[in-house]
Amino acid sequence: MEKVLAMHQSGFGTSASSNRGGAVSSGASRAPKMTTYGPTRCQVLIPLDTPTAEVIVANAVTAVESCNRGLVEAHSKLRVESVRKAWDGIFMSTNFVASAAELEVIKQWLKKVAGLAASTVC
């Protein structure tokens, strides 16, 4: 019984006799953090025809590197982390929410990737 009481006191800081009714003292109880900061919007969805999307996804490493090169040249802190095919186009994960200017940079560099990849595939 003494071991159980010692474990209880170490967990709650009060003895069982001083804590009648099961209420925990306000100093010992804290609500666990169960929420996050909300859904992430760190993604770019680009609608493309299936053959173009497949070419870009097949060359995903080149697409990520090229987009990031363009973003660095544009002095942006945005970085593309991954590319995959989804929703009748491609889905790109990024480290921040992209601005309109950054979306244009990504669009320009993806056109270069699709052109280069299509010429090497055929």
Looking at the DSSP bridge assignments, the partners of residue 120 are none
pLDDT at 40: 66
More confidently predicted of 85 and 18: 85
pLDDT computed for residue 122 by the predictor: 36
E runs forming strands in the chain: 43-47, 80-85, 89-94
Average pLDDT, the chain: 78
In this prediction, residue 121 carries a pLDDT of: 44
Residues 13, 7: Cα–Cα separation, whole Å: 9
pLDDT of the residue at 87: 82
**Global pTM value:** 0.62
Q: What is the pLDDT of residues 11-64, one digit of tens each?
A: 665 544 554 555 545 555 666 555 555 556 788 888 888 888 898 999 999 999
| Confidence (pLDDT) at 8 | 66
